[in-house]
Amino acid sequence: MSERYPNIEGGACADLAPGVAAKYFDINTQKQVFERQTAIAICGHCVVRAACLEASLVKPDAELHGVTAGLTPVEIRTLKQWRSYDLGTTDEIPSRPRPALVQVEQSHAASAAVEYRRTTTLTFDERVRGVFLDLRSGKYNETGGISQAIGAIAFIREQMDANAAAGKRAAA
């Protein structure tokens, strides 16, 4: 369950360790480029992304911040303008181009991997090995693939550290 949208369950951000989601999603999207790209990547495979986007489209502009449904506040506001234009509630054509809404369809193997990760506690080494297998298979095929893989590994370490800290607090 997301703190931003408590009625939406099953989001990729909801599976993150406490504090990790805030670090990547509740950000200044103009200044924190790495965090923005990481959040967008997390949203890219989220199964409740459409519901999250719908919730953000009804939110007042003043409450939009960080990354939501893989979009920045500027992109969400632009999408709202295009929606109003498409519905005929305004005759003014938005000045910015319509944001691209990339829909990533999850393969059966990816779905199985998500379920396996959900039911199995993997060690740091096992997770890092998965990143390297993804790198080798071409998942990080854009420019800077190695950098993306290193970022993924740093993200895994941070999430595991946050989980360990939360476990220690709960035990105390």
pTM beyond 0.75: the answer is no
Lowest mean pLDDT: which of 129-133, 137-141, 145-149? 137-141
Tens-digit pLDDT profile for residues 8-24: 677 888 777 767 888 88
Q: What is the pLDDT of residue 109?
A: 61
Query: pLDDT tens digits for 68-79?
Result: 888 999 999 999
What secondary structure does DSSP assign to the chain, as a single string?
--SS-TT--S-GGGGSPTTHHHHHHSS-TTT-HHHHHHHHHHHHT-TTHHHHHHHHHTS-GGG--S-BTTB-HHHHHHHHHHHHHHHTS--SPPSSPPPP-PPPPPPHHHHHHHHHHHHS---HHHHHHHHHHHHHHTTT-STTHHHHHHHHHHHHHHHHHHHHHHHHHHH-
